[in-house]
Amino acid sequence: MANGDNGAEYYLRYLKGDDKGIEDIVRAYKDGLIFFLNGYVKDIYIAEEITEDVFFRLMVKKPPFKAKYSFKTWLYTIGRNMALDHLRRCRTSKEVSASENPDMESEEVSLADRVIRNEDKTALYEALAKLPEQYGQALKLTYLQGFTNEQAAKIMRKTKRQMEMLVYRGKIALKKQLQKEGFVYENR
pLDDT (tens place) for every residue of the chain, 188 residues total: 444 579 999 999 999 999 999 999 999 999 999 999 998 898 899 999 999 999 999 998 999 998 888 899 999 999 999 998 888 888 776 544 444 454 555 555 555 445 444 455 666 777 888 889 899 889 888 888 888 999 999 999 999 999 999 999 998 888 888 878 776 555 44
25 vs 6: CA distance, rounded Å: 8
Q: pTM higher than 0.85 for the full model?
A: no
Q: Which domain holds residue 132?
A: 118-182
Instruction: Name residue 47's amino acid.
Output: A
Of 114, 143, 118, the closest CA to residue 128 belongs to: 143
Domain end (from 116, 143, 162): 116
27 vs 133: CA distance, rounded Å: 27
pLDDT of residue 112: 47
Q: Which CATH number is 139's domain given?
A: 1.10.10.10
Domain end (from 116, 139, 165): 116
pLDDT of residue 185: 54
pLDDT of residue 116: 42
104 vs 5: CA distance, rounded Å: 31
